[in-house]
Amino acid sequence: ERCAQDTETGEQICCPPDRRSGPYCCAKAVNGMCCNEQNQCCPWHKPLIGKNGTCYACDNEGGINVTGVEENCAVCSNRELWERTTTETQCVIPCPSDKPLRGDDGKCYSCDEPNSIWIDRDRSYCETVCPNRVASGSLNRYCSLPCGEGTFTGSDGKCYSCDEEKNIVTGGVSYNGCEQCPDRVISNGYCVLNCPKGEIRAADGTCYSCDYPDPIWVDVVLYCSDICPNRIVNGSLNRYCSLPCGEGTFTGSDGKCYSCDEEKNIVTGGVSYNGCEQCPDTRNLYNGYCVPKCSGDSPLRGSDNKCYPCNTETRVPVAYMTDACYECADQRKIDGNYCVLK
């Protein structure tokens, strides 16, 4: 026997050869692997077993979730238990004096770290540990260096220039948010740079005239009509700002207007305004696709844009629009991406 570190207590004990693996004394050693009482085995250079059974080295920088198996942390003399939340305990390396701030990832950071650090704890923790930093971002869950003049804070705790052309998410921000910039407005949780009067800013930062003929991707619900009263939100999830579609037309997922007589199958998934229902006499809605109706003797439309009679022996392709098969429910059934005879 010789001395080795007990994986259960971290203490040095006399250990028989059949239990030794590297510098550790294990419940048992199998083919060079160190195994615990639950028969979880790890190589000796990765002796820390996390909650999910994964093996980690003792010098792993991040926090290791050991909830329910907290005793496993003792195998690493350089680590300690940290209650990340009321329901999760991690095995972490103690933070040194030059990196006193522990992030939600279990890692230690310097108070001068330029990036925002996700802490997901009471704001007092951030400002107590690092007086040069402030709790920021959505619900003050980030610990950041203060944003300077001519900037504002986003939901991600980062600082953005007041001249930033893109629409920036600021929902949940209560400190140095969009109000820091007189040329920006808040719309549905986004901080948006004003365009010249009569123009609207797209999600990519480009300004478009309110009379621009094509749909404009704005990705900000309710922002559209506030700026351009002649336009409406439409398309998939109302993320487009478009001129209203006229009579005899419907709206596609791309925010465009299509004629009720359009011969192609048009995607309308996510459309909640002026969709396929605008064309009840000429079109059907199948699985988010607005397709032309077929004639009475050939009511089945395939994804190949052809019409078929219900009694055809052809395996009719209905990929992405399988509901079309129900037009012939008495005679046909769905078989993968095809509508076939029963």
Residues 191-219 have a mean pLDDT of: 89
What pLDDT is attached to residue 225?
87
C-alpha distances (whole Å) from 253 to each of 111, 236, 322 are 47, 4, 19
Share of the chain above pLDDT 70, in %: 99
Taking the C-alpha atoms of residue 315 and residue 145, their distance in angstroms, rounded to an integer, is 63
- Other CB atoms within a 10 A radius of the CB of residue 43 amount to 13
> What average pLDDT is seen over the chain?
90
Dump pLDDT digits (tens) for 126-173.
999 999 999 999 999 999 999 999 999 999 999 999 999 888 999 899
Of 99-103, 199-203, 258-262, the least confident = 199-203
What pLDDT is attached to residue 221?
63
pLDDT band at 222 (very low <50, low <70, confident <90, very high): low
Helix, strand or coil for residue 160?
A: strand
Taking the C-alpha atoms of residue 13 and residue 19, their distance in angstroms, rounded to an integer, is 11
Q: Which of 7, 15, 125 lies closest to 74, judged by CA?
A: 7
Q: Which of 85, 82, 76, 31 lies closest to 56, judged by CA?
A: 76
**Residue 195 identity:** C
What pLDDT is attached to residue 273?
84
Q: Residue 224 pLDDT more than 90?
A: no
pLDDT band at 8 (very low <50, low <70, confident <90, very high): confident
**Residue 124 identity:** S
What pLDDT is attached to residue 27?
86
Handedness of CA 293, 294, 295, 297 (dihedral sign): negative
What pLDDT is attached to residue 37?
82
What pLDDT is attached to residue 307?
95
Dump pLDDT digits (tens) for 297-312.
999 999 998 999 999 9
User: Which tokens is 5 given?
Assistant: 């570190």
C-alpha distances (whole Å) from 120 to each of 78, 80, 84, 110 are 25, 20, 9, 17
Which residues, 6+ apart, have CB-to-CB distance to 16 below 8 Å?
Answer: 1
Radius of gyration of the chain (CA): 31
Dump pLDDT digits (tens) for 50-88.
999 999 999 998 899 999 999 889 888 899 999 888 889
φ and ψ at 314, to 5 degrees? -65, 140
pLDDT band at 204 (very low <50, low <70, confident <90, very high): confident
What pLDDT is attached to residue 26?
86
What pLDDT is attached to residue 18?
84
Which residues, 6+ apart, have CB-to-CB distance to 162 below 8 Å?
Answer: 150, 151, 152, 180, 181, 183, 184, 193
User: Which tokens is 225 given?
Assistant: 């009509």
Decide which of 75 and 209 is more confident: 209
Which residues, 6+ apart, have CB-to-CB distance to 163 below 8 Å?
Answer: 150, 193
Dump pLDDT digits (tens) for 13-38.
788 888 888 888 888 888 888 888 88
pLDDT band at 2 (very low <50, low <70, confident <90, very high): low
What pLDDT is attached to residue 205?
77
In degrees, rounded to 5, the angle at the alpha carbon of residue 23 between the alpha carbons of residues 22 and 28 is 65
Residues 283-289 have a mean pLDDT of: 93
